[in-house]
Amino acid sequence: MTRSTPSKLFAAALLGVAVTACAPTVATRGNMADPDRIAQVKVGQSTRDEVASVLGTPTSVGTFDQNVWYYIGQTTEKTAFFQPEIVERRVVVVQFDDGGVVRDLKTLDRSQGRDVEIVDRSTPTHGREMSFLEQMIGNVGRFSAKDTKGKGPGS
């Protein structure tokens, strides 16, 4: 074995680690309902129990209408320290009639979604804001070694 062989092996290992570190991390969140399973749900025929059996537990149930089930899922890819990129997003909306039979079934994708702007405002509170130092000094002497039953440690 020559002297350059260990250094070549080390360089190859280092290159392998660098290449795998740059590979994207794929993450699936929520319930990405499979299109084949969605096709098993028949409008006018399938019941709640059948839908739950085929698609699983819904991600969310309608806030104002318990007869609407949502199956929400998305797949993202993240490379190194960059922001994750949404590869696929799917929302399946299942509406039931009062008898528990599927009335409507919709599959929505990323193109039908809307971005929501997050508001950075904060609600002001009344009172005085204390600095970190004031908070620390204000706590001195407030705590004792006795618990609520009047017993100290080791009693």
Average pLDDT over residues 134-149: 67
Domain membership flag for residue 144? no
Task: Indicate whether 40 pLDDT > 90.
Answer: yes
Task: Indicate whether 2 pLDDT > 60.
Answer: no
pLDDT bucket at 3, cuts 50 / 70 / 90: low
pLDDT bucket at 146, cuts 50 / 70 / 90: low
Domain that holds residue 55: 21-113
Domain membership flag for residue 69? yes
- In 3D, which of 64, 60, 38 has the Cα closest to residue 50? 38
- In 3D, which of 86, 134, 90, 87 has the Cα closest to residue 112? 90
If one compares 144 and 1, the residue with the highest pLDDT of the two is 144
Domains contained in the chain, number: 1
Q: Give pLDDT, residue 16.
A: 66
**Cβ neighbours of residue 37 closer than 8 Å, sequence gap 6 or more:** 54, 55
**Tens-place pLDDT, residues 52-97:** 999 999 999 999 999 999 999 999 999 888 888 988 999 999 999 9
Q: Give pLDDT, residue 47.
A: 95
Q: What is the pTM of this model?
A: 0.62
